[in-house]
Structure 1
């Protein structure tokens, strides 16, 4: 679990921004969004096969 400690005199919005950046770097938010609903193994495989095509 990620945590960000407030520095002395630091505004909360700045600490929240640091937390969000940290979560983005770790990929935590992306994983939570992916696990929100169950995805069948066949759907996962199909999604992985389409991913390289989508880049171009």
Structure 2
């Protein structure tokens, strides 16, 4: 949960910028985009598997150099 307290003599614009940074850092935007549409469990597993394969391929390339 993101909490923001307005600092003394802080403009609304600066507070909004700080809030956006906090939301981005907390991963809330990414989570919202991920939950925007329903994703079948098979699609979730497929995406996870592909990400793992890509990581393994990169590791093999780095280790082979």
Q: TM-score scaled by structure 1?
A: 0.78
Number of residue pairs matched by the alignment: 56
RMSD: 2.0
Structure whose alpha-carbon radius of gyration is higher: 2
More helix by share: 2
The gaps in structure 2 that reach 5 residues or longer are 59-65
Runs of 4+ in 1 over 4 A off after TM superposition: none
The gaps in structure 1 that reach 5 residues or longer are none
